[in-house]
Amino acid sequence: MMNAPSPSEPLHEVVRWLAQHAGFPARRLPAKAEALVCVSALAAAEEAREQQRFALQRRVPEQTSALRAHGLRRSQVHFKCDNSAKV
């Protein structure tokens, strides 16, 4: 079975797969079968693009550290407002 094609060149992967498994270009599959393989590769590339778009971002250690330090500083601050002194 075909490996997942890279999103940048799905048809290149199809030609390579056909050459390896079907003897392309010396032997050819029926036109409908070749079209099905090409459409399948394009669909797999589109799915890979969508998954990459919604992939979770890795944490950046510097940002995590800065946010932790900011939270610690905020927790140590005690602001008191005294409204008893009326003008």
Residue 85 counted as domain residue = no
Residue 87 covered by a domain? no
In a domain, 62, yes or no: yes
Is residue 11 within 8 A of residue 2, CB to CB? The reply is no
Q: What pLDDT was estimated at residue 32? A: 92
Q: Could you tell me if residue 26 is inside a domain?
A: yes
The chain-wide mean pLDDT, for the chain, equals: 80
Reference 34, options 7, 49, 42, 9; nearest CA is 42
CA distance 5 to 2: 8
Tell me the residue range of the domain where 18 lies: 10-74
The structural domain count of the chain equals 1
| Structural domain contains residue 49 | yes
Q: Which residue has the higher pLDDT, 4 or 39?
A: 39
pLDDT number for residue 69: 92
Is 60 exceeded by the pLDDT of residue 79?
yes
Tokens matching residue 73: 């500083």
In a domain, 83, yes or no: no
Tell me whether residue 51 is in a domain. yes
Within-domain flag for 14: yes
